[in-house]
Amino acid sequence: MMYEDSKSTYAESYFLPLVEGQQEFASTILFIRITERILGHPIVVSHRNDYTEILNAPIGKISFLGALTIGRKVRNFLRDSKDVDRIVINRGIYPIWYAVVIQIMARDRFSFIYDSDGLAADEAYEYRRGLKSIPIYMISRMAEFMLVARAQLVLTRSELTKTILQSRVPISKKRKFAILNNGCVTKKYLQVTYEGRIALRKSLKMGLSDLILVYLGSFGKQYEFEEMLNLFRNIELENISKKLLILVPASEVVSVEKLILDFGIAPEVFSVRNVAHSETPKMLSAADIGFSLRKESFSMAHVKPLKTREYLFSGLCTIYSDTTGDLNSLPSNLGFTLNSADKERNRGLENWVHEVLENRETRFNEARSYAFEHLSIESDIKILNTSIHKVLDSPDEQ
């Protein structure tokens, strides 16, 4: 597998568990995390378990030498696995280049899966400063074309993304596509309880009756950070104190703290933290409501935010945008949909928040019940398993 490290925990939360769930096929997994650090830092290898090797490769952004390094590593890995089915899965914008090189370098046959979680080239062009140029966008689109054209299986998160890719790569219309839901690993959330929420609030010196809102993830323009701060500032409930908890990568803690202070929010009502991936469910459970906003744009219509699912599994209701690939709205007791075109409806937010606080324990249990029933990763594991079977049963079908 090849995965771009974008300072998030997405790999640990979803991508690795999804592939490790394919135990029928995955006797050995080489997971390559391609980072944005400068060329020349050593490649770091670690082991997640007995059959998953993680290779952290700081080899630059669009580096020809880096592509050759990764290509050689994967080629050797495939060569040493001659007696088993060999599958390469690629996800992200930078790994596109390395996947193309691997396809050229590998002498032995293998099955290739392209995970198009959203539209990587379009999102990079819209929101990533270093890639916001027409030439790079066109080259990325060309690489996307090559990957979709070559892949035996393309994974998407919505029917809309499938339709777009089929229109961009007409020869792929008969190709196998599978649509995943970005579910969560349920066992991570088994330790979350309402009693645990009360104990955690006490340890964090948060009032049991306080309104606690939380944001989980990295900082970026697509996440409507300023809109979130505006909403937090404007929510006023009588006799109820409010606090904002921000959970971001360690590298962003200082800059996010400064941004919030510059926005005019008092330091005593917010906390910016970095927590270990394993502690995220517990920390989230201290809050009442989670923010999951996305800017309205072409690329955002093709994503399914994982944080929305993590909030629900942790017992939180959520304030979310209607601008993503999540076409099915949450039940109104669990989610409030922000609609940029319907300002009148948005005025009902305070009433909705008040209802959540009036029924804290009930909403906590309802959110978890809904998540365990509808949003577990197990359904995605089954979909991928079935799709891989089809690929291996008909390897020559294009």
CATH at 290: 3.40.50.2000
Distance CA 238, CA 313 (A): 29
The answer for residues whose C-beta is within 8 angstroms of residue 216's C-beta and 6 or more apart is: 247, 280, 284, 290, 307, 310, 311
The residue-averaged pLDDT of 270-292 equals 94
Q: Which residue type does 308 have?
A: T
Residue that is written with structure tokens 């577990």 in the block: 376
Give yes or no: residues 250 and 305 share one domain: yes
Q: Please state, as a whole number, how many other Cβ atoms lie within 10 Å of the Cβ of residue 172.
A: 21
Query: Is the confidence at residue 241, as pLDDT, over 80?
Result: yes
**pLDDT reported for residue 3:** 53
Q: Which of 23-32, 200-209, 306-315 has the lowest mean pLDDT?
A: 23-32
pTM for the full model?
0.86
357 φ/ψ angles, rounded to the nearest 5 degrees: -70, -30
Question: Which residues constitute the domain of residue 143?
Answer: 2-183+377-393
**pLDDT reported for residue 171:** 78
The residue-averaged pLDDT of 142-147 equals 85
Give yes or no: residues 301 and 245 share one domain: yes
Give yes or no: residues 168 and 223 share one domain: no
pLDDT > 90 fraction of the chain, expressed in percent and rounded: 45
Average pLDDT, the chain: 82
- The gap from C-alpha 188 to its chain's centroid, in whole angstroms, comes to 16
Q: How many domains does the chain have?
A: 2
DSSP 252: G
Give yes or no: residues 290 and 319 share one domain: yes
| Pair 6, 217: CB distance under 8 Å | no
Structure confidence by residue, pLDDT tens digits, 325-383: 876 678 999 999 987 656 565 678 999 999 999 999 999 999 999 999 999 999 999 99
Helix (H) or strand (E) holding 8: none
Q: Is residue 306 part of a domain?
A: yes
**pLDDT reported for residue 127:** 87
Structure confidence by residue, pLDDT tens digits, 172-225: 766 789 999 999 999 999 999 999 999 999 988 888 999 999 999 988 889 999
Name the band, by pLDDT with cuts 50, 70 and 90, for residue 263.
Answer: very high
Q: Is residue 289 part of a domain?
A: yes
Of the candidates 306, 318, 322, the one whose C-alpha atom is nearest the C-alpha of residue 363 is 318
3-state secondary structure of 357: helix
Q: Angle 97-300-274 (CA atoms, 0-180°, nearest 5)?
A: 80
User: In the numeric block, which tokens belong to residue 366?
Assistant: 């309802």
Any idea of the CA torsion for 355, 359, 364, 369, to the nearest 10 degrees? -90
